Amino acid sequence: MKKILLATIFFLFLISPATVFAQLDQRCWTKDKCTETRKQVNINLSEKEINDGFYQGSEARCVCGGLECKTTDAGGDEIGFCLPVTQTVTKIYFGGRNRFDNIGVFIQYIYRYAIIIASVMAVIMLIVAGFTWMTSGGNPEMITSAKKRIAGSLMGLFLAVMSYSILNLLNPALVNLRLPNTWMVNTQGLAPPTCTDIQSDKLVHEIATFNTNPKEKQKSIADFIDPKNTSTPKFETNPKLAKCNYEYVVPDTGGQTCLGIMCPQKSGKISTCALPSGKDSYGCFVGNIVGTIYDTNIMADSPFDAVFGENWGYPWVTGEMDVGAICNGGRFYTKGRKRSFGLTHNEVASIRKAQISNSNNKTQFYYIPVSEQQIANTEKECEFYGGVQGYYLDLSFNETLGIGGDEDHFIGKNGFDLGDWELGISESGAFLDQIRFQDIKQYLISPEELKKGIKVDINAANVCDVDNSEEEEMRLKCYGYLGYQNKTSSGSNSSGSSGGSLGGGVFRGDGNAGYSSCFPAGTKITMADNTEKNIEDIDVGEMVLAYDINTQSTKSSVVSEIESPIREGYYSVNNNLLRVTDEHPIYIRKPNGEINWGSINPQKTAIETRLDGLLQLGVGDELFMSDKGWIKINDITYIEGAIQTYNLKTVEQYHTYFADGVLVHNKQ
């Protein structure tokens, strides 16, 4: 009975109406605002054409007018979508109409008239056939001809009338003809997730707490932005001072809100705003580093763990949670041993264990305070090496089967696994000795971030379990992107003379790391004179053909840095039209028309570059070619096996070049 009751409540929840507020959909415009904007964008349009760009079709009414599909908002202003251009206008009137939203609407409209014409023609053919039969005088040939006409007329009428139903049965898209419309995006702008991200000098207005009932919150927002509400209070709060767990309306966004995250200091200690798992409200926690530890691997801490391979167990992190520091140059911070770092390091700060554990959803919430004195001591100890480069977490992850005991890992910001303890410690005292420091320092928590307070959520599924039986194989797989190579790789030396490593690295003599976005040998690079040259034959100082995406024109640019690492595989796009590693940025166009840099693995690309809005590259996307055309991607295949690769790491000024005719970024 209880299950039936719960199921009934859930069903009623699904079908119950919800309050929809038009101001939160950026396709929605008031008519006055739409026509005003179109006048500015389309200065050559007549008044009638400007007004015709305001669209109140069924979709616009239901998106902007709520469940009742109203055509006006709460203030009585007409609302709808706004076209950037005019509607299609035909010179011939069809049924008194010559204005259509798009070709799909035109075809649907003409189809109705086609049915009428087909019906009239069928009736005429039936009359002719009947007259022929009646006047046949028993002539077999005339009777047969009349029968065929009757059958043909009826069949034609049947197909004409039933064609819609038949096509709709096969695929509704064959008859709906819902073509993509390009609607103007309301220039009101978007609110950032947190108020501190607002870059302008705008003030915000406190509207509700984070856990306020959504309907009540939306009603408060609607009342606040209603232009007819003369008693509406003004925007009065500095975004940087927006309180934790409170939402604030951002001006010029149509009622969108940002979340306040400011926490007052407590006894001189930093407090950080965070949302513990299982809670419905944010809180201020005394800690410079705050976050949740979880595991998205469904096999983790399960009865099948031993069958499908060892994973981490809950609690994911056991024992002390330490904050460590790295001095400039990659040296560990160690108290009182500025010049001799050796095999150990000291923590900057520590807590005994995660403060809040939730066994129901298997999460751990932690907050680690770091005092001003601890930060000052760290800066003093790192003076010899030019200051503090960054901070990390040293955590002990729980081995399910207990093979070799729990495993210590270094964790950077955004929860990146920077390596296990054995990889990280060496006689030289360098941090992650087998990893190139310039590749990992970007993942360290910066001194500024530590002083302000930072949230670091950790997904244990992304932390590599490195056991002795597969130690090197796992490290190559997990830390290759940080420049790690097998300790027995050729070109390594223990004296630290390798150009790319710290204190006895394992990198090639030319200083290139084992992980970089690259192309295999034989990739054709378009030179500045429009000739082609294999990427492995290009030297520093040569001129290649670049592309300025801002001016949409080709340029000549000089190559100032080249790298050539060994990679464990690459991807073939369109049967070797392009061969590329998964993180290399490529200029692409999505099926919805969005154009930007993208890659097969945008998460890795984001780590290596400063490119914004990276897209996921996949089948169906299009590549931008050197002839300024686009080629559709039909297949992407991974080719496994170690291979020598190359990359024009730095192409001056424009940072782009053409590889096998495809526009790519130089990554830096």
List the CATH number of the domain containing 549: 2.170.16.10
Res 232: pLDDT: 56
Contact 600, 583 (CB under 8 A): yes
Using only the alpha carbons of the chain, give its radius of gyration: 33
Does residue 255 sit in the same domain as residue 141? no
Does residue 509 sit within a domain? no
Which residues of the chain are modeled with pLDDT < 50? 1-24, 335-344, 425-434, 487-515
SS3 572: strand
Q: Is 299 exposed, middle or buried (0-12, 13-18, 19+ CB in 10 A)?
A: middle
Contact 51, 57 (CB under 8 A): no
Instruction: Please report where in the chains the tokens 């190139």 appear, as a residue.
Output: 436
pTM reported for the whole predicted model: 0.48
Does residue 501 sit within a domain? no
Does residue 657 sit in the same domain as residue 549? yes
CA angle 44, 190, 236 (to 5 degrees): 110
Beta bridge partners of 403: none
Res 306: pLDDT: 53
Does residue 361 sit in the same domain as residue 310? yes
Q: Which helix (H) or strand (E) holds 354?
A: none
SS3 372: helix
Does residue 150 sit in the same domain as residue 215? no
Q: Which helix (H) or strand (E) holds 492?
A: none
| Separation CA 508–CA 499 (nearest Å) | 8
Report residue 14 as tokens.
């699904």
Does residue 644 sit in the same domain as residue 549? yes
Does residue 302 sit within a domain? yes
Give the pLDDT confidence of 507-519 residue by residue, as tens digits: 222 333 334 668 9
| Listed residues 482, 506, 531: the one ending a domain | 482
Phi, psi of 410 (to 5 degrees): -90, 130
Give the pLDDT confidence of 221-236 residue by residue, as tens digits: 888 877 666 665 678 9
Does residue 419 sit within a domain? yes
SS3 403: coil
Cα–Cα distances (Å) from 359 to 120, 304, 332, 362, in that order, read 73, 19, 35, 5
Question: Given CA atoms 213, 219, 220, 225 in this order, what sign does their dihedral have?
Answer: positive
What's the chain's length in residues? Answer: 668
Q: How many domains does the chain have?
A: 4
For helices 140-170 and 103-134, give the axis angle rounded to 10 degrees. 160
Residue 24 DSSP label:
G
Res 540: pLDDT: 87
Beta bridge partners of 97: 94
| Separation CA 174–CA 72 (nearest Å) | 33
Residue 480 DSSP label:
G
- The amino acid occupying position 277 is S
Does residue 169 sit in the same domain as residue 215? no
- The amino acid occupying position 520 is P
Does residue 182 sit within a domain? no
Q: Which structural domain range is residue 215 located in?
A: 195-259
Does residue 111 sit in the same domain as residue 145? yes
User: What is the bridge-based pairing of β-strands 662-665 and 656-659?
Assistant: antiparallel
Res 504: pLDDT: 26
Does residue 228 sit in the same domain as residue 298? no
Residue 343 DSSP label:
T
Does residue 21 sit within a domain? no
Phi, psi of 420 (to 5 degrees): -90, 170
| Listed residues 482, 509, 535: the one ending a domain | 482
Residue 513 DSSP label:
-
Does residue 604 sit in the same domain as residue 455? no
Contact 464, 477 (CB under 8 A): yes
Does residue 429 sit in the same domain as residue 572? no
Contact 264, 446 (CB under 8 A): no
Does residue 82 sit within a domain? no
Does residue 249 sit in the same domain as residue 373? no
Instruction: Please report where in the chains the tokens 């009638």 appear, as a residue.
Output: 48
Does residue 237 sit within a domain? yes
Residue 584 DSSP label:
-
Does residue 578 sit in the same domain as residue 450? no
| Separation CA 279–CA 283 (nearest Å) | 10
